[in-house]
């Protein structure tokens, strides 16, 4: 099968990781992938495989753009013409858009309908089931804006039942919205040896990994850490881009409070080493989709704490982690919880084991790819034998694709 994939290669975010992992896995199953992305001036991140191996068949097509941000991209007026002509020349079996939030997203249904190519979207934006704050209201507006367009896609992949319900309430037909959760490579992301604790001189390591942006609510974590007086044997490690928000926080939350700012780390193996050396992963977001960083931490056996927004509460339900209430201040909850996580090592070890087990049951990359491939086959009216032949993957669980209420 030939898949035309529209996604991101930079700047680094969850969409970049999703596109990289899924297209790499699809190629390993023998599918041809043509990767469309907005052209970039800088070289790709270190963890993006430019060449997979000598059998790499991926063709890359650059789309011109005016401005590109981590969340949103503004294409040039020529982008639609470039995309349409390339698709007409390539004639792929399926177009799959890992939506980059750009005006081009709204043109894709018309382009693919004209070319008679099935169109699949993966819709990433974070959400909260309640519009309790500015971040949640802003994200809900994105859903309102996109819903009429998504109704024209043949299928829309979302990561959770809650996200599906949001789109359905906004008018996207139920039969078009498919739940296929994010997945991680559980061989790559797994518990293992690490020298990270010795490297930073800590007995207990708490970790945040993600964007340093208002909706991630990192400031509440920092305030709670400072107020909890965690002592010299515990350290909080922050991994993420040092943007304007981080710059404003650094003077008040530094090494003197046991807080280590490592900045953005492109090297994937280094990030895995840090995860394996940590004890607790904390995600205090105001809105989320289904955090890949959370799933990676769970796969590495960390005790995980996250707010009940997006699908993260669903991921950690039934003792797979600690879920913070979205109805109470996050900083206050963390101030009470942090010392408990520091002192009760058997409890955190048990949470880490439960987290790993949950990922193995529900959120593996193998299941994700199986469901994506099955979805392509459904649209084309064929059964795809490549998956069944591959020794690297196991058959998907029945019922993971939810096409009905």
**What per-residue confidence (pLDDT) applies to 218?**
95
- Decide if 276 is inside a domain: yes
Q: Is residue 316 part of a domain?
A: yes
Residue that wins the pLDDT comparison between 69 and 66: 66
Nearest to 31 by CA among 372, 404, 403, 326: 372
Does the residue 398 lie in any domain? no
Same domain, 14 and 114: yes
Residues 373 and 322 in one domain: no
Cα–Cα distance, 130 to 253 (Å, whole number): 31
Do 217 and 351 fall within a single domain? yes
In 3D space, the residue among 324, 362, 358, 361 whose CA is nearest the CA of residue 341 turns out to be 324
Strands (E), 230-285: 234-239, 259-263, 280-283
pLDDT of residue 51: 38
In the predicted model, is pLDDT for residue 58 greater than 60?
yes
Q: Give me the pLDDT at residue 155, please.
A: 97
273 lies in which domain range? 196-362
Does 165 score more than 60 pLDDT? yes
121 shares its domain with 8 = yes
* Each residue's pLDDT tens digit, 84-98: 999 999 999 999 999
Integer Cα distance of 73 and 104 in angstroms:
9
263/179 same-domain check: no
Residue 93 located in a structural domain? yes
Helices and strands (DSSP H and E) totals, the chain = 15, 15
Q: Does the pLDDT at position 124 exceed 70?
A: yes
The pLDDT mean for the chain works out to 86
Residues 166 and 206 in one domain: no
pLDDT of 244 over the 90 cut: no
Instruction: State the pTM of this model.
Output: 0.82
Say which CATH number the domain at 288 has: 3.40.50.2000
Does 222 lie in the same domain as 116? no
Count of the separate structural domains present in the chain: 2
Instruction: Give the model's pLDDT for residue 50.
Output: 41
d(CA 74, CA 355): 38
158 and 225 inside one domain = no
Q: Are residues 236 and 358 in the same domain?
A: yes
Least confident of 61-65, 113-117, 253-257, 386-390: 386-390
Average pLDDT over residues 326-348: 95
């Amino acid at each position: 099968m030939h898949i035309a994939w529209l996604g991101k290669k930079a700047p680094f975010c969850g969409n970049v990781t999703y596109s990289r992992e899924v297209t790499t896995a699809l190629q390993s199953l023998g599918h041809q992938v043509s990767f469309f992305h907005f052209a970039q001036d800088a070289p790709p991140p270190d963890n993006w495989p430019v060449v997979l191996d000598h059998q790499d068949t991926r063709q890359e097509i650059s789309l011109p753009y005016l401005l590109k941000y981590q969340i949103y991209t503004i294409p040039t007026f020529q982008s639609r013409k470039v995309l349409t002509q390339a698709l007409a020349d390539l004639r792929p079996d399926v177009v799959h858009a890992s939506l980059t939030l750009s005006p081009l997203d709204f043109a894709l249904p018309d382009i693919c309908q004209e070319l008679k190519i099935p169109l699949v979207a993966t819709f990433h934006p974070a959400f909260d089931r309640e519009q309790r704050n500015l971040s949640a209201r802003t994200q809900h507006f994105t859903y309102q804006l996109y819903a009429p367009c998504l109704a024209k896609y043949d299928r829309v992949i979302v990561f959770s039942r809650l996200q599906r319900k949001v789109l359905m309430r906004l008018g996207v037909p139920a039969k078009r919205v498919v739940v296929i959760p994010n997945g991680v490579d559980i061989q790559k992301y797994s518990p293992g040896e690490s020298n990270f604790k010795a490297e930073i001189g800590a007995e207990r390591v708490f970790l945040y990994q993600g964007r340093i942006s208002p909706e991630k609510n990192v400031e509440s974590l920092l305030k709670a850490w400072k107020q909890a007086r965690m002592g010299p044997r515990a350290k909080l490690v922050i991994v993420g881009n040092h943007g304007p928000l981080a710059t404003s926080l650094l003077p008040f939350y530094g090494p003197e409070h046991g807080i280590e700012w490592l900045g953005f780390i492109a090297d994937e193996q280094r990030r895995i080493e840090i995860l394996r050396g940590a004890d607790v992963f904390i995600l205090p977001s105001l809105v989320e989709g289904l955090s890949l960083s959370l799933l990676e931490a769970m796969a590495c056996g960390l005790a995980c704490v996250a707010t009940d927004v997006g699908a993260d509460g669903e991921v950690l339900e039934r003792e797979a982690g600690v879920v913070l209430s979205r109805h109470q201040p996050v900083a206050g909850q963390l101030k009470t919880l942090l010392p408990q996580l520091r002192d009760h090592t058997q409890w955190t070890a048990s949470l880490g084991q439960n987290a790993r087990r949950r990922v193995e049951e529900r959120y593996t990359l193998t299941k994700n790819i199986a469901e994506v491939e099955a979805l392509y086959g459904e649209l084309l009216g064929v059964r795809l034998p490549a998956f069944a032949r591959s020794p690297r993957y196991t058959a998907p669980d029945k019922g993971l694709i939810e096409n009905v209420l």
